[in-house]
Amino acid sequence: MNLPFLFTAGVAAAAAFPLHPASPQSPLGSNMSSFPHHGLQDIVNASPLLSFHRDIVQIESITGNEHNVGEFITRFLEARDFTVVKQVIPSAANNGSSNRFNVYAYPSNNPNPQILLTSHIDTVPPFIPYSVSRVHDSGSDSTGHGTILISGRGSVDAKGSVASQVFAALETLEENPRSSIGLLFVVGEETGGDGMKHFSESTLNTSPPSFHTVIFGEPTELALVSGHKGILGFEVVAKGQAAHSGYPWLGRSAVSAVLPALSRVDRLGNIPDSEGGLPSSPKYGKTTVNIGKIDAGVATNVVPASARADVAVRLAQGTPDEARELIRQAVRDATDDDKDVWADFSTHAESYPPQDLDSDVDGFNVTTVNYGTDVPNLEIHDSEDAKVKRYLYGPGTIHVAHGEHEAITAKDLEDAVKGYRKLIEVAVARNQK
């Protein structure tokens, strides 16, 4: 199999989707300290991995606007002997647009990959331009990989995983061209997962599946994740009656009505199960509740006729249906069964229980995470005699993802390539037994 990636890493205008011009490159794993007199841009240019990561971070791909980065990745993979399927998301999910697509790729000689690496190419707003800087850490070598900080929206979540997965696949295929590897990069993960859901419902997701292992890419600080919490969203709604604020007794304040319910809901993660609280678990800890947004009234001199609060729950135990009933009961108890105050679950379609994942590969730190992923959006049709392995792993930390200082080190990206390669190697060996 022809793999020209070892000879490509040029710089180009991202919007034009150019292929990297051919030029001699140092090996991917070469120590950056061998470039002591070069600028940081030279170091990035000299690394195929860092160059590719730079190029996709430079392309703005806020959810709904993933087309350009998808085109770039498509051209990049096609130039490296991958067959690429652009899986267009139905226009109904795109508000009439047909420009969004998942990137599904496999080596030209292997249309039914047994190992699937997947991540997402959309980001949260706002777009933050790419930049690279040196971090001076007294505890590390100032010329090392760990001090080269790469910033920009998506540099961590999740273009760091995308880049590392691509190069883990390329390096594996260079050593063993017959490796059965596929790549799936989806749109829309940040706002409900329409890309992964479309793939899941498509004929590409066969039953039984061609793949025996799926490796999801998200920022996990290079740890192998044994599972993540579930999620449930809802609103607490109150109906009142408007009146002049000078004569509040002529109306009924929806804010006053909703406050006892919100106070109770806010504490549900800390209330024991025996007292009607949301359950905890030894693995995931407490269920957490966040009242993220409150909207009420029209003016300060008007008694508010309506109030609603948007709530997100991270489930540590149990099912969404079980949590819904506990929440409904909590609202009833807090308001003395006031019919004008209720929990409304119809505005939040997405919900799922905690997601247990595989973590049976030696050599990794193992952890759990509290954020959501595309894991529950991929329905896997396990056969009767075999269950698909699901892993979650990637570079960078969630603590800076979505923030104004989103950034990742060059060393994290390179270490992630090694980590993904190890997961691939174990999956290959397992299937050969």
Residues involved in catalysis: 189
What whole-number distance in Å separates Cα of residue 92 and Cα of residue 279? 37
Distance CA(110)–CA(146), nearest Å, equals 36
d(Cα 122, Cα 97) in Å, to the nearest integer?
16
DSSP strand pairing (389-393 vs 101-107): unpaired
For residue 46, whether the previous peptide bond is cis, meaning omega lies within 30 degrees of 0, is no
**Furthest-apart CA pair in the chain: how many Å?**
81
Backbone angles phi, psi at 105, to 5 degrees: -135, 145
On whether the CB atoms of residues 229 and 411 are closer than 8 A, the answer is: no
| Secondary structure letter of residue 21 according to DSSP | P
**DSSP codes of every residue in 210-225:** S-SEEEEE---TTPEE
d(CA 24, CA 78): 20
Q: What are phi and psi of 30, to 5 degrees?
A: -65, 150
